[in-house]
Structure 1
Amino acid sequence: MNGLKDVGSLTADSASQVSPQLAGDAVNSLAMLGKTSLALLLVVATIWLCSFLLKRLNRQHLLGGKNLRIISSCAIGQRERVVVVAIEQTWLVLGVGGGQVNLLHQLDAPADAVHSADQGAESFASRLLRIRDRDSGN
């Protein structure tokens, strides 16, 4: 029986010696996991912020597309589209698909389309001013 007490005391002594070491390793592992998680969260947040800013910024302004407007677009397949693009006073009908852009037709912009775009912008501006004045008056 005396031998069993010695074995029991040895395991209790060795457990008390090993516990601080295991506890230190566990704390280090949790600290490493926390740092890694924080770094991953920072990378994901940076990617999300960049995509959010790209959506919010005026891409045409960045690309210098002041005279370029997309008038209409129509999908004719999974990857193919027909796009009508206005460049100053000319409309281009483009076929877009498969990594290519082909000119299908070129025509002069209708006079009423140019004036209606200007009138639409003015009417929107006048409506916005009217709503702003109405809301500030209350």
Structure 2
Amino acid sequence: MSDTPVRDTATGGLEAVSVGTDALVGMATLGKTAAALALVLVIIFAASALLKRLQLHRQPAGGRLRVISAAAVGPRERVVIVQVEERWLVLGVGGGQVNKLHELEAPPQEAAASSGAGFEAGDSFATRFAKALRHNAGLKERGKS
């Protein structure tokens, strides 16, 4: 009679170990799946950040239309100055409409580039920031007299 309870105990122990092993395998699979999902999300965010950075440095198609300035005059209304070739158009935008308010000759590029702290059209933010700091500190630009 002593042999029967030992077998039941041994069988019960093996079942407990196999159930625990199944739970560990399930947790390991869940962990691997979560890690793979996290990796895919990191790749998506990195790719979108890279694309945004590359979009900033690209010129618009054709390069003939450029927004010079915009100002809000109401919750959904704006006045926008747009350069089309050598003309500036002052446009009123709002309520699903665009109205031409005025038309001006575009100022020469040299005058616009030489005003302020000496910003140029192709300058990056870091370059403009450094020029503004030097301008505000009263220092001259390096390499220029």
Common fold by TM > 0.5:
yes
Match of 1:131 in 2: 141
Alignment map for 1:10-89 (pairs within 5 Å): 10-54=11-55, 56-58=56-58, 61-66=59-64, 68=66, 70=68, 72-89=69-86
Letter paired with 1:11: G
Match of 2:134 in 1: none
Match of 1:121 in 2: 113
How much has 1:5 moved relative to structure 2? 5.9
- 2 CA distance for matches of 1:102 and 1:10? 86
Match of 1:100 in 2: 97
Structure 2 spans left out of the alignment, 5+ residues: 120-130, 132-139
Question: What SS does the aligned partner of 2:18 have?
Answer: helix
Structure 1 residues 88 and 78, CA gap change in structure 2 (3 angstroms): same
- 1 CA distance for matches of 2:48 and 2:65? 31
Structure 1 spans left out of the alignment, 5+ residues: none
CA deviations on 1:73-92 (whole Å, 9 max, x unpaired) are: 32111221112334344332
Question: What SS does the aligned partner of 2:63 have?
Answer: coil
Question: What SS does the aligned partner of 1:62 have?
Answer: coil
TM (normalized to structure 2)? 0.62
Question: What SS does the aligned partner of 2:92 have?
Answer: strand
Q: Percent identity?
A: 31
**Which structure is higher in helix share?**
1
Question: What SS does the aligned partner of 1:82 have?
Answer: strand
Question: What SS does the aligned partner of 1:63 have?
Answer: coil
TM (normalized to structure 1)? 0.64
CA deviations on 1:29-58 (whole Å, 9 max, x unpaired) are: 22122111111221122122222322x314
- 1 CA distance for matches of 2:79 and 2:29? 59
- 2 CA distance for matches of 1:98 and 1:50? 32
Question: What SS does the aligned partner of 2:110 have?
Answer: helix
Question: CA-atom RMSD, angstroms?
Answer: 3.1
